[in-house]
Amino acid sequence: MLSTKAKAAAEKIKSFSAEDAESLAETIKHEVQHATHVLSERAKEAEAKVRAFADHAGDDITRYSGKAKAKIEENPVPATLIALGVGFVLGALLIRGRD
C-alpha cells in the first residue's frame, strides 16, 4: 500500500530517538507557524489591493455615470435616438440568433 519512499521514511523515523523526534516536531511546528504567518501577510496585502481597486472602480463608475447623465440631459433627443438604435440592433441580433 505504501510507496517505497514512504516505507523508507517510516523505517528512518522508527530509528529516531525521543530527542530527535522532539527536535523534528519543533522544527515542523516552527515551519508551519512561519508559513501561516507569511500566508496571512500575503492575504492581507491582497485584500488591501482588492479594496483599493474596488474603491477606485466605484469612484470611476460614479464619475462616468454622472457625465453620461449630464450628456443625456443636455441632448435628450439624440440620446433617445441612439438608445432606440442600439435596442433595434440588439433585438435584430437576438432574433437572428434564435433561427
Please state, in angstroms and rounded to a whole number, the distance separating the CA atoms of residues 81 and 79.
5
**What's the confidence (pLDDT) of residue 14?**
80
Annotate 59-71 with DSSP letters as a single string. Answer: HHHHHHHHHHHHH
Taking residues 77-98, report their average pLDDT: 92
Give mean pLDDT, residues 49-75.
Answer: 94
Give 90's pLDDT tier (boundaries 50, 70, 90). Answer: very high
Three cell numbers written together for 5? 519512499
Is 0.75 topped by the overall pTM? no
Of the candidates 43, 40, 21, the residue with the CA atom closest to the CA atom of residue 32: 40
Residue from 24, 23, 26 nearest 9 by CA: 24
Q: Given a cut of 90, is residue 1 above it in pLDDT? A: no
Helix runs in 15-75, H state only = 18-74
Tens-digit pLDDT profile for residues 2-46: 788 888 888 887 887 888 888 888 999 999 999 999 999 999 999
